[in-house]
Amino acid sequence: MKISTILDHIDGGHMALPEFQRGYVWNRDQVRGFFDSLYRRHPVGGLLVWATESNSATHRGDGRLAAGIVKLLLDGQQRITSLYGVVRGRPPEFFDGNAQAFTGLRFHLETETFEFYQPLKMQDDPLWIDVTELLMKGTAGLGEFVGRLTSQSALSDKVGEYVGRLSRLLGIIDIVLHVEEVTGTDKSLDVVVEIFNRVNSGGTKLSKGDLALAKICADWPEARDTMKSHLKGWASADYRFNLDWLLRSVNTVLTGEAKFQFLHDKNAAEIQDGLKRAVKHIDTCLNLISGRLGLDHDQVFFGRFGVPVMVRYLDQRSGLLDEKERDRLMFWFVQAGMWGRFSGSTESYIDQDLAVLEGNKNGLEMLLEQLRLWHGGLQVEPGHFTGWSLGARFYPVLYMLTRMGQARDWGTGLPLKASLLGKMSHLEVHHIFPKARLYKHSYKRPEVNAVANFCFLTKDTNLSISDRLPEDYFPEIEKAHPGTLASQWIPTDPELWKIANFRDFLEARKILLAQEVNKQMEELLHGDTRWLAGPVTAVPAPSASVGGITSEEEEEQLEALNHWMEDQQLPRGILAYDFADPDTGRQKAVFDLAWPNGIQEELSQPVAVLLNEGTEVLAIASQAGVRFFTNVSDFQNYVKTEILGLDQQLGVA
DSSP result, 487-507: HTT----GGGGSGGGHHHHHH
Cβ–Cβ under 8 Å, residues 625 and 219: no
Residues 6 or more apart whose CB falls under 8 angstroms from that of 129 comprise: 106, 107, 108, 109, 145, 166, 169
Q: Tell which wins on pLDDT, 432 or 585.
A: 432
Q: What is the mean pLDDT of the chain?
A: 84
pLDDT digits (tens, 9 = 90+) for 27-41: 888 899 999 999 999
pLDDT digits (tens, 9 = 90+) for 198-237: 666 555 555 667 667 777 876 787 888 899 999 999 989 9
pLDDT at 649: 39
588, pLDDT greater than 50: yes
* Number of Cβ within a 10 Å radius of residue 445: 16
Q: Name which of 438, 451, 434 is nearest 507 in CA terms.
A: 451
3-state SS of the chain: helix, strand, coil percent to 5? Answer: 55, 10, 35
190, pLDDT greater than 50: yes
Q: Using a cut of 0.85, tell me whether the model's pTM lies above it.
A: no
Mean pLDDT of 396-408: 89
Share of the chain above pLDDT 70, in %: 87
pLDDT at 478: 95
Confidence band of 524 (pLDDT split at 50, 70, 90):
very high
pLDDT digits (tens, 9 = 90+) for 595-611: 887 886 655 678 999 99
Cβ–Cβ under 8 Å, residues 289 and 302: no
Confidence band of 420 (pLDDT split at 50, 70, 90):
very low
Cβ–Cβ under 8 Å, residues 149 and 165: no
Cα–Cα distances (Å) from 9 to 6, 66, 80, in that order, read: 5, 9, 11
157, pLDDT greater than 60: yes
pLDDT at 652: 42
Q: Tell which wins on pLDDT, 189 or 635.
A: 635
131, pLDDT greater than 50: yes
Confidence band of 612 (pLDDT split at 50, 70, 90):
confident
Domain ranges within the chain, ordered by starting residue: 3-181, 205-374, 383-532, 552-643
